[in-house]
Amino acid sequence: MKWKSILGSLGARVLGLVLLVAAGAKIAEPGAFAEQIRLEQLDFLFSVRTVTLIALALEVGLGTVLILGLRRLWVLFPTTLLVSFFLFLTGRNYWLVLNGLRDEDAACGCFGSLIQRTPGEAFWQDLFLLLVPLSLAYIGRQVSHRGFPWRRLLAAGFLVLGVTVYVGGNSDLHFVEMAAEIADESGEERFVKTDDYLLVLEGVDVPEAEIFHSQSVTFLVLSPQLPAAVVLKLRTTSVETIAGEMIFRGDDGSIILSSDAVFHPEGEFEVDGEGISFAVQGARLRLRNSP
């Protein structure tokens, strides 16, 4: 019946739109998405950078062909797997938060930080936005098809290629990848010194400053020119300071923060091609790549 075909086509296009909007939110903040991948421990087989690019390619590619009306089984089956995996992750996060095993702000659902939602809202809203149109997309499919949809696949391919190139060159993603490489093999959260960056204070290099990086994608900056230790959190782009006595240095040179440490907000930082710019008590600072 014609109404079934219309209903199914509408479901596919709505689902495609949802996937593209969700992908757009992740593309806008690829570093936060990569950190989420690390939080869910999805980088067990490939690097966090590779997993990020694969996930975005799937989401953009499938979303594009769906919104273009392509409903063949070799499109709907992988879409079903992708939707099921998304719902599994949001459902697991909801369960972990309910049981006090994860912080409520640790995950944002399939829309990233585009929409501020509680874990419960993220799960139930994603369930409705993804499962309902996916179910409708199977209704009224044509059994026989004329020709192969080259044009729609090429359109999706070009879009996926553009997203891959753009996100692959994003500096935020580089920071997350670096954090994964220097993470402590023991799995204990700690800050490890890195020589990849140099602190610049009011336009002047501060070579004696020490820069550390943690597994949770956080920078720690120590310098005698600063009134306190500075913490830069990539996921929230926040700048915070903590008292020096809350810092403990291990025999291997790594640093652990006291569980009693109080973080004092100093605003947000910005990431550009030259590094990370931020301010602490009116002083302008930057972390730039070491020569």
The model's pLDDT over 236-278, given as tens digits with 9 standing for 90+, comes to 778 999 888 888 887 778 888 877 778 889 998 887 767 888 9
What is the torsional sign of CA 173, 257, 249, 229?
Answer: positive
Crossing angle between the packed helical segments 30-39 and 171-182, to the nearest 10 degrees: 30
Per the listing, tokens 């935020």 go with: 172
Q: What is the mean pLDDT of the chain?
A: 83
Percent of the chain with pLDDT over 70: 85
Task: Tell me the pLDDT band of 218, cut-offs 50, 70 and 90.
Answer: confident
Contact 265, 239 (CB under 8 A): yes
**Distance in angstroms (rounded) separating the CA atoms of residues 37 and 52:** 7
Report yes or no on whether pTM surpasses 0.85: no
Listing DSSP states for 78-116 in one string gives: HHHHHHHHHHHHHHHHHHHHHTTSS-TTS--GGGTTSS-
pLDDT at 185 over 50: no
Best-predicted range by mean pLDDT among 40-49, 79-88, 239-248? 79-88
Summarised one tens digit per residue, pLDDT across range 119-172 is 888 889 899 999 999 999 999 887 666 788 899 999 999 999 999 998 888 776
Task: Tell me the pLDDT band of 37, cut-offs 50, 70 and 90.
Answer: confident
Summarised one tens digit per residue, pLDDT across range 190-207 is 788 888 789 999 889 999
The β-bridge partners of 255 are 191, 249
pLDDT at 186 over 70: no
What is the torsional sign of CA 112, 118, 124, 129?
Answer: negative
